[in-house]
């Protein structure tokens, strides 16, 4: 279906976006149109992306946006709003597994760059940003997800190596990844005993189990097992037992990115529903002339605008160094609830057409649950915010 103007015009009414952001949008859109849109159904069926796409994304400047030039990134001059624009455009196909898997380095690489040694950064980052290797993040375990302080995977130091035992699950890009930024327990109980290790996934003792999913079909997801895996101490990211702060710092960026993706999917749902309502006739009149349908569309737009305003406010706090984790927790709930509402209403407006495999709204509806749960469920987010704001 043809897109309505909303997807393209909302930034022009915001004080946070200028010509540089539109230039990023144009670049990413051209890449998506050329390299992704023709292959969505193929990659959804395959359950993963071709590795070649990472190299093409690097060549197009998509992978390196906002990363240091010394490691092959696009360098300086970018703010959080450029990243939001990039996320928006990558969502245009309405297949959440594509940006989730293509951009996994967005959660796997930042801890390395923020806390890793100069040797580790120089060894890992250039190949990742060139699309030659893939890095993922390993936090969630079969016994727990958001309760990071109680993770069980253990790394014991033996001479110049750590020996890792345990498993991580629901790992995005876990089947194809070459490296994993791994949260492990190196000390006692609680947050003070957690470290981060960079683990090469071709090491002896590493095995992977692919996971089938409700949505994100184009993204490979795995449980990764570690059985006496030896990792050199040079792969420690930051100080031993100092990994918890790095994990928490990563969450704000992850939740901001997920919120923008959720808002983009909500916009796509609105646009496809509006397009359908203007073309589809019932009892001799277009659906869009029916008051009940117009009210559905207006309610969708109301939530989309409110969500984008909240996203932009949180991005502004990042830009000005005054971000509060509680804001990002509430933002993620707001955005994913908006996505869920708009996906449902779009399905109601499209009727049977929304139930057919291959329709953009059908794909987005399948992505609702992973967006609402991944990066922290609604319940965890509300609790985090209540503790952050001390009530």
pLDDT at 195: 96
Start-end ranges of CATH 1.10.540.10 in the chain? 6-129
pLDDT at 148: 83
pTM of the predicted structure, to 2 decimals: 0.93
What class has domain 245-388? Answer: mainly alpha
Q: Which of 319, 324, 149, 146 is nearest to 243 (CA)?
A: 149
Sequence-distant (≥ 6) Cβ neighbours of residue 157 within 8 angstroms: 163, 186, 233, 240
Q: What is the pLDDT of residues 283-300, one digit of tens each?
A: 889 889 999 999 999 999
pLDDT at 6: 59
**In degrees rounded to 5, what are phi and psi of residue 194?**
-105, 135
Start-end ranges of CATH 2.40.110.10 in the chain? 135-242
User: How far apart are alpha carbons 29 and 9 in whole angstroms?
Assistant: 14
Q: What is the pLDDT of residues 64-118, one digit of tens each?
A: 998 999 999 987 789 999 999 999 999 999 999 999 999 999 999 999 999 999 9
Q: Could you confirm whether domain 6-129 is CATH 3.40.50.1860?
A: no
Listed as ranges, residues in the chain with pLDDT below 50 are 1-4
Start-end ranges of CATH 1.20.140.10 in the chain? 245-388
DSSP string, 104-129: THHHHSHHHHHHS-HHHHHHHHHHHH
**In degrees rounded to 5, what are phi and psi of residue 182?**
-110, 125
Q: Could you confirm whether domain 135-242 is CATH 2.70.70.10?
A: no
Tokens (6 digits) for 262:
């959720």
- Per the prediction, the chain carries an average pLDDT of 93
Under 8 Å between Cβ of 63 and 131:
yes
Under 8 Å between Cβ of 234 and 157:
no
């Amino acid at each position: 279906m043809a897109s309505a103007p909303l997807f393209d015009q909302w930034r022009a009414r915001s004080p946070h976006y200028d010509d540089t952001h539109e230039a990023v949008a144009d670049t990413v859109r051209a890449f998506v149109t050329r390299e992704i849109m023709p292959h969505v159904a193929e990659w959804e069926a395959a359950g993963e992306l071709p590795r070649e796409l990472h190299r093409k994304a690097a060549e197009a400047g998509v992978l390196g946006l906002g990363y240091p030039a010394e490691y092959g990134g696009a360098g300086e001059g970018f703010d959080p709003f450029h990243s939001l624009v990039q996320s928006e455009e990558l969502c245009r196909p309405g297949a959440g597994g594509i940006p989730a898997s293509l951009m996994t380095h967005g959660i796997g690489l930042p801890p390395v760059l923020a806390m890793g040694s100069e040797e580790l950064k120089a060894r890992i980052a250039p190949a990742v940003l060139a699309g030659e290797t893939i890095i993922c993040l390993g936090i969630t375990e079969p016994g727990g997800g958001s309760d990071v302080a109680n993770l069980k995977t253990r790394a014991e130091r033996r001479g110049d190596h750590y020996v890792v035992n345990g498993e991580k699950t629901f790992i995005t890009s876990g089947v194809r990844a070459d490296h994993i930024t791994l949260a492990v327990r190196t000390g006692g109980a609680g947050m003070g005993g957690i470290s981060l290790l960079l683990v090469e996934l071709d090491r002896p003792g590493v095995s992977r189990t692919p996971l089938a999913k409700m949505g994100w079909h184009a993204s490979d997801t795995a449980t990764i097992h570690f059985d006496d895996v030896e990792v050199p101490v040079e792969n420690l990211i930051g100080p031993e037992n100092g990994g918890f702060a790095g994990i928490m710092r990563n969450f704000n960026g992850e939740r901001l990115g997920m919120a923008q993706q959720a808002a983009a999917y909500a916009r796509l749902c609105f646009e496809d529903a509006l397009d359908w309502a203007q073309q589809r006739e019932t009892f001799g009149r277009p659906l869009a002339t029916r008051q009940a349908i117009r009210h559905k569309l207006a309610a969708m737009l109301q939530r989309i605008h409110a969500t984008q305003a909240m996203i932009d406010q949180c991005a502004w706090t990042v830009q000005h160094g005054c971000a509060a984790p509680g804001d990002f927790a509430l933002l993620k709930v707001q955005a994913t609830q908006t996505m869920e509402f708009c996906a449902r209403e779009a399905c109601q407006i499209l009727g049977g057409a929304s139930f057919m495999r291959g329709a953009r709204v059908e794909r987005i509806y399948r992505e609702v649950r992973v967006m609402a749960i991944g990066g922290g469920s609604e319940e965890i987010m509300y609790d985090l915010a209540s503790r952050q704001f001390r009530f």
